[in-house]
Structure 1
Amino acid sequence: MKNTIAERIADFLKRFPPFDLLRKPQLLEISKQVKITYAEKGHVIYRQNETLHSHFYIIHKGAVSLIKALEPDKSEVLDKFDEGDVFGLRPLFAKENYAITAKTAEECILYAIPIDIFRPMAEKNKSIGNYLIESFASNTENPFTKEHHVQFFSDAEIILNPTDNHFELQPVNYIKKIITAKPSSKIKTIAKTMSKKNIGSIIIEDDGKPIGIVTDKDIRNKVATGLHTISEPVTNIMVSPVLCYPKNITIAQAQITMLKHRIGHLCITEDGTPNTKIIGLASEHDMIVMKGTNPSVLMKAIKRSNTTKDLKRIREKIMVLLNGYIMQNIPLTHTNKIIFELNDATIKRVIERCLVKMKQDPPVAFAWMSLGSQGRKEQLLHTDQDNAIIFENVPEDTLEDTRAYFLKLAKKVNKRLNTIGFDYCPADMMAKNPNWCLSLDEWKAQFTKWTTNTGNDELLLCNIFFDFDISYGDSRLTNALANHVLDITKNNTIFISKLAANALSNASPLGFFRQFLVEPNGEHKDQFDLKKRALMPIVDAGRVLALSYQIKNINNTAERFEKLADMFPQNKELYLGCSYAFKAILKFRTKHGLINNDNGRFIKLEELTKEEKMKLKRCFKTISHVQEFIKVRFNISTLL
């Protein structure tokens, strides 16, 4: 005889994660053991510090509040759960008593799931386990430690095999015992050391930080040819600045970086910038020994391309690569870096070809700056192009002629980028606009004006132009501008406060009772603006904190928060939470953009699964937390 109650429970459970990952016999086995509980509003399911139950819970009807006691007679509602939400997972992962209180926010029907029945099924299914870990971590306000994962799975570490399709996404092997020299060393001494140690390169360092690199190729091309003598200081022939990356750089990213810049070595530093100490060196030989294909093939194709049509076809293949990485759940950190390098190489190749078509060399040194998402290394989908040109200072009487050359170049570049798939910026924030084709001194004056006479328009421009990255040209110009930005914002409390207040202009993505705040009217009525309400609040928070703490050479939002977590361990959980949330939301936007063949900005809520909504809401909690932190940190609640 059928157990109709158990079957009805099973039918309900299979609609929601993680139970939708179980087979029907497993669902029925669980459902037969489920305890059904009715609770009136205000009923306490379990209290903070109470001994753990033998069940966890899923809401059939109603709503439950999760409450944290802060001090006697004071508490905080951490979250609210509704139909299909799972809570009370602590017995699955931890032996301590409950860390929070669960209380019904309205009349409820709850299903209590026996842990002894469910645990063996979850341990054998990694997808279920990972989902539960995320849910539990969200409730504990700490989704970033590995301890719970290790406790739940015996095979917590996943090692890729050299024959795997994604071997190129492993961190590169690098030499840890490296030979360095001081900038005062003579070329003769450097050559003798390289010969004696049988090495092909030496890092030139000052106080443990890399300032240049010399390779045997430099000695052949610059000394053996008679351009320099062996008695000169090594600084005369070293390559500077050194390309630096953190130790977790992937094989694919290292390969395409070397191809893009025509170099054979990468310096590994503590935080991936020249501002911290050297910890290793990766060479082209390491790349040959290790296996990696697809991104490298695309990079070579970009460098060999001779027409805009070629680059357009390659760009389409890059989107296929991106789709594969997203669908196969490759970590976004790796995906982001690879796609950025391929996009950046595409921009560089376009500029190279346009310079040839100019039939005249640039009158002075210049740099092409990518702004916004590309400047932050966060541009994955087809989005608008935001860019600018900075050129070397020239006498006043030649300034406009110099600008005219670069405007002509920019017009060619912008047009070809648009053909490839980088749409024109509707606000005309592109290098072909005379306002954004300036000399170094003009850019410095512009940035100074924005930070001293700061209104709403200036804040908007700062949010775009402060996140710049060089895509082509002389890095000395962009470095000088970056130093100027830090100088004019250091101790500039008025500007930083205004920037912080602006970072709070987009309220929490959730309204009353955890509902998504959708567009009230217009073309995207009833859709959720993922960029405005979810991504930009984290991006803006990362920018103002990075400026406030004078963090240099790190524009990427996730990396900014990871650097902050290293600098301020007392707030590590919050900062890592922001990094995790940003990457999760960006990956979500990319996935839906690929599915809908658009930029993924506006989401139709009816198309989201319950699991997707739950994961987004967890990320939105982090947005709320960092916005509260900024209010306190910059004392700006009165400004809002």
Structure 2
Amino acid sequence: MQASNTIQERVHEFLQQYPPFNLVKEDELRTIARQVRVMYLEPEQVLFKQDEAAHDYFYVVRQGSVRMEIVDEKGMQLLDVCDEGDVFGVRALITRKNYSSTAIASEETLLYAIPSSSFAPVLQDNQEVSLYFAAGFAAGASALRRTMSHTHKARVWLRRERNKAPLRLEELVKIAAGNNLLACQPDTPIRLAAKLMTEHDSSFILVWDGQERPVGIVTDTDMRKKVVAGTVTPQDVVSEIMSAPVITIAPEPAMADTLIKMIRNRVKHICVTDDGSLHSKALAVLTEHDLLLAQGNSPAIMVSEIRQTKHIGILPQIRQRAEELLLKYLEQEVKISFIAGVITEINDAIIVRAIQHAEEQLGKPPLRYCWLSMGSEGREEQLLRTDQDSMLVFEDAAAGVVTAAKNYFLQLAALVHEVLESCGFSKCPANMMAGNPEWCQPLSVWKQYYHSWIYAPTDQSLLNASIFFDYRPVYGDFGLSSQLTDNIYESISKERIFLPFLAKNALRNPTPLSFFRNFILERGGEHKDQFDIKLRAMTPLVDAARVLTLQNKVVGENNTIKRFLKLAELEPQNESIYKEAAVAYEIMMRIRALNGLRNHDSGRYIKPEQLSKLERQTLRNTFVTITDIQELLEVRFQLSYIR
């Protein structure tokens, strides 16, 4: 009896380490542990077969590993390998349908078999456990891959249920729409508009037409700058001082879209309309204060501080606050696309302020120019403070003028690099920065660079392409960037061999798993026994997204997640794989950022033992997408014929 109790205690201690059992009440888990059956499987022993009737148990791997295989029109395929703590065979629990795959022990394996009848009441009463299974986390790789997007949403929901937000933005929209919207016609006297704003204690009054469509907005700022300053008189009409056009959004907006739109347009009021456009009825106006209520801490304040500060030395402190905001967002499971958008706006504001500071020091630029960010910042994916990757393009001029201008721009770049380094952005070890004379050139030279890379795709050219094709204008004359982009796409359309070579280059990093289930780790050096998530997992997806968007002539979209989502629209036949790739990359960005914040570094190198069971399981399953995307590239560009 004592031995039996000891076994039950060991089962209980083991189960409570892993999801979903760590979500089960203590007394319920002990009851389940008493009914667990311990099973031993020899290597290659089959536990159940595809199409076999579901058992009365579902299984947890205690020790060893179990392969999940399926036979379809392509033959035998490996779906997943379940190791310690993994749950499988849940059809007995969720549905009485036959098994969709075969389970085979890869080595000597111990299993815990849990009676479905005992666990069913927990599944029914515990919403978190139910959602866990419904999301597909424990149903094997096939279910994981089919429902990865839903799974991510489920995890977000779980986290939010435990950390309730004070107020959602859509609730604020409903509240604002439920109040009488303060609005007037364009011919309303300014004096009357000011009186209405005072009576309603409002910082704005919307200006709309006869069909209640927004045509402008008058704010406290407009009153101060234009009326009090004497530009117009109180007897004039509001159309003389209103800000137009109004920035609009659709009802029930995403916090990300609303906040980033407000930051980018430098406004403190945004109008909600029937369809999100200026051509439909106005429903409500949200203010920056509303967003502060919904968000708790607005990054708009940081961006405003950066733009307005006269003391460049304060920038490092603001960027540190952004790091704290990043951690908060990650802990609250805020969507990565939103986090990346916010951090990009903050980073861009710092770069712009640094450039303005350099111009103040050096005087007016001699020629029109454009500062472009590259790499992760160019793709709007730089969550942590990693390398500075940049390039500078300036307009063509006479030789003597170009020489003097280049000297000015190199000095400007050097000052910018210093400011960014003080903010925690290290200089690029490969010197891929605007301060390098090679990457500070007139437009004509940049066109020659890209022409040579496209028409002579050597190893170095392809390396340069992987860096310099992900640029994004941040400051200056964006027209120079547009001219360069147009020239690049024209060259690619004429030289058809370039994209296949670029696709071949995208296959240089295969799926980062060794013999089914172990991460490929660094063999030596400073990062021995660590996993390089950037090189082995993220770069293959970045490279694939780049070459596929170039092939589809998708202009102006560098972000890897957005690239895959755009590809899903353009190629409906591959919609599933592209959406899976977008979610996989989002998961990788999140795990890397958390790792970097935990270890106070770039997050690139991960110690596998620092990952939770759920993180390891989730990350491992995203690697399947890398294989699928690379197979797509191989077939599309016929890479087997390229040597």
Question: TM-score band, normalised by the shorter chain?
Answer: 0.7 to 0.9
1:610 aligns with 2:616: no
State the distance in 2 between where 1:330 and 1:628 align. Answer: 32
1:314 aligns with 2:307: no
Q: Is the 8 A contact 1:257 1:341 kept in 2?
A: no
State the distance in 2 between where 1:434 and 1:266 align. Answer: 43
Give the CA deviation at 1:313: 0.5
Alignment correspondent of 2:147: 143
Alignment correspondent of 1:190: none
Equivalent of 2:438 in 399, 414, 435: 435
Q: Is the 8 A contact 2:269 2:287 kept in 1?
A: no
State the distance in 1 between where 2:619 and 2:528 align. Answer: 20
**TM-aligned CA distance change 1:491 to 1:414, over 3 Å:** same
Alpha-carbon deviations, 1:140-193, whole Å to 9, x = none? 33124649989x99x9998999x9357469998999xxxxxxxxxxxxxxxxx9
Q: How does 1:326-337 map to 2 (within 5 A)?
A: 326-337=330-341
Q: How does 1:503-522 map to 2 (within 5 A)?
A: 503-522=506-525
State the distance in 1 between where 2:95 and 2:153 align. Answer: 11
Alignment correspondent of 1:419: 422
Give the CA deviation at 1:8: 2.6
State the distance in 1 between where 2:279 and 2:94 align. Answer: 36
**TM-aligned CA distance change 1:165 to 1:406, over 3 Å:** farther
**TM-aligned CA distance change 1:280 to 1:60, over 3 Å:** farther
Alignment correspondent of 2:541: 538
User: What's the RMSD between the two structures over aligned residues?
Assistant: 3.9
Q: Is the 8 A contact 1:369 1:471 kept in 2?
A: yes
Alignment correspondent of 1:523: 526
Give the CA deviation at 1:562: 1.1
Amino acid at match of 1:291: L
Amino acid at match of 1:418: E
TM-score for the superposition, normalised by structure 1: 0.81
Give the CA deviation at 1:95: 6.0
Q: Is the 8 A contact 1:260 1:345 kept in 2?
A: no
State the distance in 2 between where 1:574 and 1:356 align. Answer: 49
**TM-aligned CA distance change 1:377 to 1:454, over 3 Å:** same
TM-score for the superposition, normalised by structure 2: 0.80
Q: How does 1:98-113 map to 2 (within 5 A)?
A: 98-113=99-114
State the distance in 1 between where 2:373 and 2:83 align. Answer: 44
**TM-aligned CA distance change 1:6 to 1:198, over 3 Å:** closer
| Identical residues among aligned pairs (%) | 35
Q: Is the 8 A contact 2:466 2:543 kept in 1?
A: yes
Equivalent of 1:476 in 473, 476, 479: 479
Q: Is the 8 A contact 1:35 1:111 kept in 2?
A: yes
State the distance in 1 between where 2:152 and 2:323 align. Answer: 35
Query: Where do 5+ consecutive residues of structure 2 fail to align?
Result: 178-206, 217-221, 232-242
Q: Is the 8 A contact 2:173 2:284 kept in 1?
A: no
Q: Is the 8 A contact 1:252 1:296 kept in 2?
A: no
Alignment correspondent of 1:231: none
Alignment correspondent of 1:489: 492
**TM-aligned CA distance change 1:550 to 1:590, over 3 Å:** same
Alignment correspondent of 2:59: 57
Q: Is the 8 A contact 2:68 2:140 kept in 1?
A: no
State the distance in 2 between where 1:366 and 1:171 align. Answer: 42
Q: How does 1:159-558 map to 2 (within 5 A)?
A: 164-165=165-166, 167=168, 201=215, 250-251=254-255, 254-255=258-259, 257-262=261-266, 285-288=285-288, 290-292=290-292, 293-358=297-362, 360-490=363-493, 492-558=495-561
State the distance in 2 between where 1:118 and 1:550 align. Answer: 52
Amino acid at match of 1:105: S
**TM-aligned CA distance change 1:160 to 1:562, over 3 Å:** farther
Alpha-carbon deviations, 1:369-420, whole Å to 9, x = none? 1100001010011101101112223234422222222222111111111111
State the distance in 1 between where 2:329 and 2:282 align. Answer: 25
**TM-aligned CA distance change 1:196 to 1:61, over 3 Å:** closer
Amino acid at match of 1:41: P
Q: Is the 8 A contact 1:250 1:334 kept in 2?
A: no
Q: How does 1:32-111 map to 2 (within 5 A)?
A: 32-71=34-73, 74-93=75-94, 96-111=97-112
Alpha-carbon deviations, 1:455-495, whole Å to 9, x = none? 11111111111111121122222222222222222364311
Amino acid at match of 1:620: F
Give the CA deviation at 1:449: 1.1
Q: Is the 8 A contact 1:57 1:112 kept in 2?
A: yes
Give the CA deviation at 1:253: 5.6
Deviates further, 52-61 or 549-558:
52-61
Alignment correspondent of 2:591: 588
Alignment correspondent of 1:601: 604
Give the CA deviation at 1:553: 1.6
**TM-aligned CA distance change 1:407 to 1:43, over 3 Å:** same
Q: Is the 8 A contact 2:271 2:285 kept in 1?
A: no
Q: Is the 8 A contact 1:256 1:295 kept in 2?
A: no
The number of residues matched between the two structures is 583
